[in-house]
Amino acid sequence: MCARHVGFSVFRRRPDFSAPDTDTMTASQPDHTAPNDTSAARTSWLLDRTEALCRDDTTTGREDQGLPNLRSVLDELDAKVQLQQVAPNRHNVLATWGKPKLLFSTHLDTVPPFLPPRRSGDLLQGRGTCDAKGQIAAQLATIKELLARGHTDLAWLGVVGEETDSIGATAAGALAPQLAECVAVINGEPTENKLATGQRGSLQLQLLTKGVAAHSGMPELGHSALWPLLDWLQRMRELSCEVDPDLGPEIWNLGVMSGGAAPNIIPAHADARLFVRSIRESTFEQRARKLAPKEGELKQLSFTPPEVFARVPGFEHAVVPFGSDAPRLRQLVGGQRVVLCGPGTIKVAHTLDEYITGTELTLGYDLLIKLATTLLEGRA
């Protein structure tokens, strides 16, 4: 994927139509009142900012609709903001302070459908609350506090398209020269405030079978493509489940199946699509191929390898069941350490009941402060 750096119009402060390679701006009126006061004030700040970011429908492809509200939070932090065009009306956002030594990152897009935020006390419900607007708020509150403590060299990156094809994280590779001195990237996803041990790979397979069409009243003249596919899948269901000590079990999902043309025709074709959360040294594909019927064919549609992240001593780690941009973001910091963590739970992400609480956000902030200072001081 080829990323282009072009000028950006929404936040342009002057009538500049010269389309420079990047459009860089510095906020003029920083607000230093929050979230440094009390814990309650910090929790309110976190909930308020998360709610504001959730008001915009930023379903994948519409990320730019969230830029004005995001910009106003970045203005509070006196950030230097740079927009990187990834596709028409879709921009990654890089905010920097000084010469970055630590990068925070998460994604700007959300899954459909858009669910406007609803707040009740400590509870904030709606699309993006934990995946991943709450991550943005927790990370920016952390940066604000680090700046107040005298850490001057930080960066924050929001990327588009994480929920579909990671187009934003891929394009962000072009920003790497500005982040070359970073010692790590912290990628925000709802991990219940634990550090992910790594992430399983994503292996997409297609199982195809071919048959011969015939009138359903005379099946002896044809050959069904569907029965061999069903038998193949049944044999695969009986396979043992392999387990990686750091990444957990290798699981697979039969997500899509199709075949045949009409109820009264012997089906001449059938196919099934599988999504495998693969582990290191996976043999799943070979085993699936071995179990294929004579009329079957197996195709690999895509593969992202699994990764195990280096542990950070003194922090709680856990296996997470989902993929993220973390491996792609590592390229931004010269292959240095990547840490995947954040408030909220994946159990409600992508559901109609998505939520985050002020308590989770505050614990996420506490975790990020401890993690960032550990990494910046070279204690990991």
Tokens of 27: 């906020």
Q: Least distance (Å) from Zn ion to the CB of residue 111?
A: 8
Q: Least distance (Å) from Zn ion to the CB of residue 63?
A: 13
Q: Least distance (Å) from Zn ion to the CB of residue 124?
A: 16
Output 132 or 368, the one with its CB closest to Zn ion. 132
Output 11 or 322, the one with its CB closest to Zn ion. 322
Residue showing the smallest CB distance to Zn ion in the complex: 131
Is residue 130 within 8 A of residue 61, CB to CB? The reply is no
- Fill in the amino acid letter for 276: V
Is residue 247 within 8 A of residue 280, CB to CB? The reply is yes
Q: Least distance (Å) from Zn ion to the CB of residue 165?
A: 14
- Please, which residues bridge with residue 243 across strands? 249
Tokens 């939070």 locate to 73
- Reduced to 3 states (helix: H, G, I; strand: E, B; else coil), residue 345 is strand
Is residue 60 within 8 A of residue 109, CB to CB? The reply is yes
Closest CA to 350 of 187, 201, 131: 131
Cis peptide before 132 (omega within 30 of 0): yes
Catalytic residue, chosen from 51, 63, 76, 162, is 162
HSE at residue 298, side-chain half, CA atoms within 13 A, is 19
Output 82 or 129, the one with its CB closest to Zn ion. 129
Q: Least distance (Å) from Zn ion to the CB of residue 35?
A: 23
Is residue 307 within 8 A of residue 247, CB to CB? The reply is no
> How far apart, in whole angstroms, are the C-alpha atoms of residue 370 and residue 376?
10
Q: Is 360 a catalytic residue?
A: no
- Please, which residues bridge with residue 63 across strands? none
Q: Least distance (Å) from Zn ion to the CB of residue 267?
A: 38
Tokens 């927790």 locate to 138
> How far apart, in whole angstroms, are the C-alpha atoms of residue 340 and residue 326?
7
Output 132 or 367, the one with its CB closest to Zn ion. 132
Output 190 or 211, the one with its CB closest to Zn ion. 190
Is residue 134 within 8 A of residue 361, CB to CB? The reply is yes
What is the H or E stretch that residue 68 is in?
Answer: helix 67-76
Q: Which residues bind Zn ion (CB under 5 A)?
A: 131-132, 189
Output 64 or 189, the one with its CB closest to Zn ion. 189
| Residues designated catalytic | 162
